[in-house]
Chain A
Amino acid sequence: MAEPTATLDLSELRRRARPQDIPQVPTITICGGTGCRVYGSEMVADRFRQELDAAGCQATVELQVKSTGCHGFCEQGPLVVLRPSEIMYVHVKPKDVPEIVQRTIIAGELIDRLLYVDPDSGDHISREPDVPFYKHQQRLILNLNGLIDPLDINEYINMGGYRAIHHCLGELTPPMVIDTVKRSGLRGRGGAGFPTGLKWELCRNQPGDLKYVICNADEGDPGAYMDRSIIEGNPHRVLEGMIIGAYAMGARRGYVYIRAEYPLAVKHLRAAVAQARAAGFLGRNILGSGFDFDIDITLGSGAFVCGEETALMASIEGRTGEPRPRPPFPAQRGLWGRPTNINNVKSWASVPIIIDRGPEFFASIGTPSSKGTMIFSLVGNINNTGLVEVPMGITLRQLVEDIGGGVPGGKQFKAAQIGGPSGGCIPPEHLDVQIDYDSLRSLGAIMGSGGLVIADEDTCMVDFARFFMAFTQEESCGKCVPCRIGTKAMLSTLERICDGKGQPGDLEYLTELGNEIKSASLCGLGQTAPNPVLSTLRYFREEYQAHIHQGRCPAKVCKGLISYSVLEENCTGCMVCLRSCPTGAIQGAKREVHHIDAEKCNRCGTCFSLCKFDAVQVV
């Protein structure tokens, strides 16, 4: 890590701020995001340094080895990208490193075995931008993630960082900043999609000179990690956004509320705050403008509900992280009772881009009502999983098929669950829906903060809904009655249906309960908790009905509704299943047809997965 620049000279900043360069210095970038680290990317980076030393490369060529933030394509990690050639190697192990140094770096050859293979075409793809996963994305916020060392503020500055705050402080009055944000059409990326400029204006117009801004980095949706990746890969952009916001609203202090389970992001954030302070972007009299602002980091301990803004503020104040009714809204009475503005990480990170490249540029991306880009964490039954940043208005089909590479194993796409536990499912007939706030809402889903789970034909939608319900039920803080008790009632009804004990009237009951919980709950958690159930009831009602009225689970998932039996004509009597059945439900002798005792069988599916002769069937 380079020494932080001591209070930066403005002209120096301007000089260094060249637009969107890609460094021409030959660089080996190794993804240092949490995902790739789990696969051992740090060892790979170390190995590179050793090998390069050993090969004497460091002496001859100026060659950098750089650990960067998350590249997004985590399932292929550890990812190594050579620049400027943009050759990308996937699943790199330390033992591959000598070969890469010898063959690619020194001899200029490609190593086929380490290239990404397109599962559709079977082609080996050598350059990162040509990988379909990246090709259809528009990386506005994540653009620097694979390029810069997040622990070095100079790298961000060299890429044009902190130019926006310089511009604001030098040329724009606070109302002008707010107007710019308004004109960009940015809407909150934390879930509800409230227009950011408008929210800022509400906060600015509140009386009082003690105001706060908060960055919501609690990111509680299961499986979502876009906010973590932004902070890990480029924390300064978030800070810059907050400084701009604080300037616009007249706040003196900011907080980043980040979950303690993100140690790497916390580390990068802490380093970034310290460096920004040393460089004069935080603290007193920022860039000589007379504007004072500083940022504290508060660690959250991981309750989903702490991401709700009023609970989050309670938690920062040191009280139990529980929501309170709004109004008063945070802009009226927020942290310590003062006007407060809370935005999501992605919202804050969009701000420097809006200032730097102009609101018109930002507004040119997307649909009339939804501007800019959105980051999704794409998971589930899909070929390419990872973080994707796409322009608003892209269709779900493009996302699933072009970027995600479709559903693996030739299976059928069944549903896309958008918006996490507060969101809803979108069925195949709506695959061409445009991804924007309003279109999604009209289908009963929400943009949410970017969770996107793909379900294939083998997914039981009742079970799927049950999973989300179990999550919200577990996460209900219990403060209000409808959520505390109602979600439990919904969950146990779903469990009953999955268990094969559904009754006529259950679906009406679920709908009633869902609507009651939505209208009566105190906070967004309860108000949206029924969504996954209500939306699956809307699009997959027959599947529910099959469970209840026909006693079957069409996707053959729900244990209470399936049974395993042996297909006599295929069974060779190999005894593999018999030996591994945990309940001893299988009888038979060597080379004789086996039988499964339905009474004893607990439907664990072991026999089904072990049988080499397709002799075990599920019905």
Chain B
Amino acid sequence: MSDLVTLTIDGVEVSVPKGTLVADAAKKIQIDIPVFCYHPKLEPVGMCRVCLVEIGLPMRDRATGELLKNEDGSPKLSFRGLQTGCTVAVSEGMAVRTASQPVKEARGAVLEFLLSSHPLDCPVCDKGGECPLQNLTMAHGKGTSRMAFNDKLKIAKHVPLGELIYLDRERCIQCARCIRFQEEIVDDPVIRFHNRGRSLEIVTMSEPGFDSYWSGNTTDICPVGALTTSDFRFGARPWELTPAASICPHCPVGCNTTMSTRREAISGGRKVIKRIMPRQNEAVNEIWICDKGRFVHHFADSAQRLTTPLIRKDGQLVEASWDEALDLVAGQLQKHKSAAAGLASGRLSNEDLFQFQKLFRKGLGSRNIDLANRQLGGGEIVAQVGVGSGTNLKDLGKGDAILVVASDLHEEAPLWWMRVKQAAERGVSLVLVNGRRTRLDKFAAHTVNYEPGQGLMTIRRLFGLAQVETESTRDDQLAAAAEKLIKAENLVAFYGSEGLTFDESDALAKLLGNLLLIKNGHNHTGRANNGLIPVWPHSNSQGAWDMGIHPAYGPGYAALETPGLGAAQIYAGAASGDIEALYVVGADPVGDGLMADRGKLSFLVVQELFLTETAALADVVLPAQSWAEREGTYTNGERRVQRYYPAIPAYGDSRPDWQILAQVGERAGLEKPAFAASLMFKEIAKAVTQYKHMDYRSLAQVEKQWPDVGGDDLYYGGNAYENGSGLGQQWMAAAESGAVERFEAPDIEPNSFESLPLIQTRALYASGTLTNISKVIEARLVSPTLTVSPADAARLELSDGDVVDVAVNGASVQAKLSVSKYATVGLAQLSGVGSGFVSGTAAAEFNRVVESEKELA
């Protein structure tokens, strides 16, 4: 390939793509050029100077342009001083010396300089043991210092940059990785350098401090122990930690993580999660996770966890044995049979969900199962035109396009937000069709904000415009956007359901499917980097569709002849008495505002981690294990099936969901429970054709990833990034193996509104079952908040800070009013309330309950 450049590094020849930096080229042949400020995910800045090498370039005759040769025929090279291996790109015939005397001297000097101002408190430092500075000093340092001890800076060592991240100013080597990460990767420049020269220090400029969903990543890439998380600092030494591979359970991205665990006295001799770090998966989360994934794990270890089964006796929930509880549940369900219904959550694993539907369909003969909260439709469309296997958002570039509809990725799926933003920066045309402004707007080529209730209409128009070959008039954003999309070499479409009802989102998926199916030179379905990505509400909503948690579909999207009742009907049935027994697994419909009370149910069983509002009403409560205590698989929104592993022992007497369900099933006449989750998965692979090539072993397969950040690497000295436990497998969408027909999208009448319409928006830190219990992020939880524009506030005669009663469809909630000039005029947004409160875009009433204190003061 002509794009390869050949050079020698310490005499070893290597060919790398044009544009590769010398430091990276060396890494390819296992020559470590030490680095501090350089990070393969960040733009090089060449400021720490530890990567200095000698670089020789072939000399040419001035007159003829011919290469000059030495007497022995080797090319004549000209070396000019020391240069930073992290900023110089390779060139043909270059010769690099990484271990010559001048290089060693400079490297030693830089390390010595750094150490002269370093506290050397490695014995108590979180990073000690996985610290690049420590490792490089051991490898290249002088062992002694010529520096005067009195010159060492003695400065603040415990500086909170917010309640999540602490800075140790003495340890900081001013490499700016943290600042650059916040600026370049996540466009959240809330920290920066202050002062200069020796007084250089990191400060936060936001209120609250370090106000970013990404702050934890800076602690990973900080090459020393200067940045630490408040929940881990001084908590453990890296070598005491046992890594366990996991998958983040909070959103449909499915970030790969590593849990570091330790058995410790302060936790009563239990093995506990000390921290969660990203695990490298370049196709999913690269080496990043958001702060929710990092900090919201403390629920697993919460004292509020359920430890034993509970049975209601004399109106009270009292502890019971597993046998007693399981017998009771099985007996009651069997009694009600087809009048029994089941509601599960998209947080459960594939194994749990498969067993759940099996219990109902096979064990009880009931078809009444669904997700407790069906926020987003279109699963069966995704099965056909979802992104092709092999999709990696990182591969999209100039000439490609991404469409995002009805979703605020920053709040709903942060890593996708980051990767879409980066794609846009690489030249991908980003088209946003939303009901309001979002954080992605700034990166978009075209942003269309539709009127409240006009979302579907707008996409219909977009589809219409895309179908006809028009020279769009540039002032019509939608037409221009349609042209960009349809002409794109690769096209990925994300869709969510903000402001849409379930049925509307279902129709949206179909319309987008049709848009992707338009043939216009490029095939936008059935290929890698093309197709739909649903922004599911939960980490395994995709798996729930795949496993057939749906009144009309069985496992693998097998359509049922007679569909059962869906969630809405089940809630109605519970109220009316048509449904007699209800089994809720991993969901809290009462807390989410989907179900008012237990209605006329004669039996309610809830399987949960905590005594939720729904559980508190139940006849039987079964304690389940958290994802950290067991193994299983999640399928992410890109249909990548990923395995997670047990990290800590079970809490109390809790059991894995699939096991409990199987034990109930056994009592209801099904076979004996499987011995292990892997066997459950075997059963899935048999029943779900899309999964037929998978088993726990294939899901655990890994391959070498680039950039190489694992092991005792110099970017990070620990083992958290290393992915030895599986990259997961994407299942093939139908379009990849055969033609797909256009979808019939139902016509849904657009709403029009007399008064200010309301939508519900999702917040990453919305209070919920899991978030509420993780104390570290307590301060950031979003309490019920109503956001309106100043103009709308004026019209409603409300002011910032008022407590407002928001009434929709007979339900009401009190929320604090936030008047924001960034809010879209003509639309009220409600966040921080139960996920089922507002359906679609709704007419609402707003009444002031408490006047703002600001007003009064």
Which residues of A are interface residues toward B (Cβ below 8 A)?
303, 320, 324-325, 327, 473-482, 484-486, 488-489, 492-493, 496, 509, 512-513, 516-517, 519-522
Contacts and interface: CB of A to CB of B under 8 A. Distances in A.
B32 interface: no
A521 B116 CA distance: 17
A477 B49 contact: no
Nearest to A505: B146
8 contacts: A325-B84, A325-B87, A475-B197, A478-B196, A479-B45, A481-B50, A481-B173, A513-B109
A47 B88 CA distance: 63
Contacts of A474: 197
B82 A481 contact: no
A480 B88 contact: no
A512 B84 CA distance: 20
A519 B106 contact: yes
A475 B200 CA distance: 12
Nearest to B201: A478
B52 A473 contact: no
A512 B102 CA distance: 12
Nearest to B102: A519
B625 interface: no
Contact of A520 (B106, B195, B196): B106
A445 to B, nearest CB: 20
Given A320-B193, A520-B82, A481 B45 contact: no
B151 A509 contact: no
Closest 6 CB pairs between A and B? A325-B46, A485-B113, A516-B109, A478-B200, A478-B197, A520-B106
B110 A488 contact: no
A481 B117 CA distance: 11
A509 B198 CA distance: 21
A524 to B, nearest CB: 13
A489 B106 contact: no
Nearest to B147: A489
B737 interface: no
A484 B198 contact: yes
Nearest to A328: B87
Contacts of B48: 480-481
A519 B199 CA distance: 23
B349 interface: no
A466 to B, nearest CB: 15
B113 A481 contact: yes
A449 to B, nearest CB: 22
Interface in B171-202: 173-174, 193, 195-200
Given A479-B174, A516-B109, 7 more contacts: A476-B197, A478-B174, A480-B47, A482-B109, A484-B200, A489-B113, A519-B81
B530 to A, nearest CB: 32
A324 B180 CA distance: 14
A471 to B, nearest CB: 12
Contacts of A512: 146
Contact of A516 (B46, B105, B195, B200): B105
Contacts of B50: 481
A281 to B, nearest CB: 39
Given A325-B84, A521-B49, A489 B197 contact: no
B114 A481 contact: yes
Interface string B100-113: 00100110011001
B148 interface: yes
Contacts of B195: 478
Interface string B146-172: 111011000000000000000000000
Contacts of A485: 113-114, 116-117, 198
Contacts of B82: 519-520
Nearest to A518: B81
A304 to B, nearest CB: 11
A477 B110 contact: no
Contacts of A480: 46-49
Nearest to B151: A492
Contacts of B52: 519-520
Contacts of A303: 196
Count chain B CB atoms within 10 A of each CB in A475, A481, A488, A496 and give the residue with the most.
A481
Interface in B71-122: 81-82, 84, 87-88, 102, 105-106, 109-110, 113-114, 116-117
Nearest to B173: A481
Contacts of B146: 489, 509, 512-513
Interface in B23-68: 45-50, 52
Interface in B679-717: none
A441 to B, nearest CB: 15
A522 B116 contact: no
Interface string B325-336: 000000000000
B197 A516 contact: no
Contact of B198 (A488, A496, A519, A520): A488
B198 to A, nearest CB: 6
A493 B47 CA distance: 24
Contacts of A517: 109
A479 B48 CA distance: 8
Contacts of A522: 46-47, 49
Contact of A478 (B46, B87, B199): B199
B110 A484 contact: no
Contacts of B193: 320, 478
B148 A482 contact: no
A488 B148 CA distance: 10
Nearest to B111: A481
B110 A520 contact: yes
B148 A484 contact: no
A509 B173 CA distance: 23
Contacts of A320: 193
A520 B109 contact: yes
Contacts of B46: 324-325, 480, 522
Nearest to A325: B46
A148 to B, nearest CB: 40
A320 to B, nearest CB: 7
A477 B197 contact: yes
A513 B108 CA distance: 11
A573 to B, nearest CB: 43
A272 B215 CA distance: 50
Count chain A CB atoms within 10 A of each CB in B46, B50, B106, B113 and give the residue with the most.
B113
Given A320-B193, A488-B198, A509-B146, A516 B106 contact: yes
A325 B21 CA distance: 14
Count chain B CB atoms within 10 A of each CB in A325, A476, A477 and give the residue with the most.
A325
Contacts of B196: 303, 476-478
A119 B52 CA distance: 54
A10 to B, nearest CB: 42
Contacts of B200: 478, 484
Nearest to B200: A478
A482 B110 contact: yes
A489 B174 CA distance: 17
A512 B116 CA distance: 16
A512 B112 CA distance: 13
A531 to B, nearest CB: 16
A479 B151 contact: no
A585 B48 CA distance: 49
Contact of A493 (B49, B88, B105, B148): B148
